[in-house]
Amino acid sequence: MIIGLMSNKGGVGKTTLSMNIAKGLSSRSSLVVLDADPQQSSTHWNRVGKLSGFECPDLVTLEEQSVDEAIAKLSNQYEHIIVDCPPSIESAQTKATLNLADIAIVPVQPSPIDLWATVHIIGIIKESQARNPRLRAAMLLNQLEPRTTLSKVMKNAVGQFGLPVLPIGLRRRAIYRNCLLDGRSVYDSGVRAEDAIAEIETVIEEIFKL
């Protein structure tokens, strides 16, 4: 299965989700992360993780080749490909991913600015679905603070946009940021990451139900 993490806005959690979902799924299936973002955040993450001695998912950095070429090659070798896209829906990488993916996940933070930026992406996803009928897509709320009014209002608001919303989002947790210090995933972070691991596991389950 090809799963693309995409958004039209930076810093919404594409790389955090790509790398943690990859670690969770790679324990049960063959999987590769395709870093399609020129910022190469997941590539750096993976490099630091390996240097720190963690077992990291396989990762390929998009350099000379196109997304199409990379996916054509990788789909012969791996059961799942997770594509970490650049923060633009107009980028060639995101467009190519939409044409080839089975699943597109759009992380959205619980703020109206993020939601406004998402309206555009929904139209493009719908157009892509006309070309690529396999494509299922959903928004995923990230950095939720369950007790705040904004998070509650946003949960209702995202549901009005004509794209499914995963029933589980990620809470704002320091562990997601701390993991970056030594390139680990929440799965490598012991008992203090139990809640985050459970959250990522549920996200994986929900993605497979789409």
Residues that bind Mg ion (CB under 5 A): 14-15, 41
Strand locations in the chain (E): 2-5, 31-35, 58-61, 80-84, 103-108, 136-141
Out of 2, 3, 6, 14, the only residue in the binding site for ligand ATP (CB under 6 A) is: 14
- For the chain, the first-to-last Cα distance in angstroms comes to 12
Which tokens go with 88? 């633009």
Please report whether residue 184 would count as binding ligand ATP according to CB under 6 A. Answer: no
Residue 37 vs 167, nearer CB to Mg ion: 37
Q: Which stretch binds ligand ATP (CB under 6 A): 22-30, 47-55, 65-73, 168-176?
A: 168-176
Q: Which stretch binds ligand ATP (CB under 6 A): 8-16, 26-34, 116-124, 125-133?
A: 8-16
Which tokens go with 202? 């549920």
The backbone region for 10, taken as left when phi is positive above 0, alpha when psi lies in -120 to 50, beta otherwise, is beta
Cβ at position 10, least distance to Mg ion in Å: 7
Out of 73, 120, 177, 192, the only residue in the binding site for ligand ATP (CB under 6 A) is: 177
Please report whether residue 172 would count as binding ligand ATP according to CB under 6 A. Answer: yes
3-class SS of residue 187: helix
Out of 97, 142, 151, 185, the only residue in the binding site for ligand ATP (CB under 6 A) is: 142
Cβ at position 87, least distance to ligand ATP in Å: 3
User: Length of the chain in residues, anyone?
Assistant: 210
Distance, in Å, from the CA atom of 203 to the CA atom of 124, rounded to the nearest integer, reads: 23
Q: Which stretch binds ligand ATP (CB under 6 A): 9-17, 96-104, 159-167, 200-208?
A: 9-17
Residue 75 vs 182, nearer CB to ligand ATP: 182
Residue 11 vs 164, nearer CB to Mg ion: 11
| CB neighbours of residue 116 within 10 Å | 11
Cβ at position 136, least distance to ligand ATP in Å: 20
Angle at 148 between CA 190 and CA 112, to 5 degrees: 105
- Residue at 6: amino acid letter: M
Please report whether residue 4 would count as binding ligand ATP according to CB under 6 A. Answer: no
Binding to ligand ATP in span 23-52, by CB under 6 A: 37, 39, 41
Nearest to 66 by CA among 40, 100, 96: 96
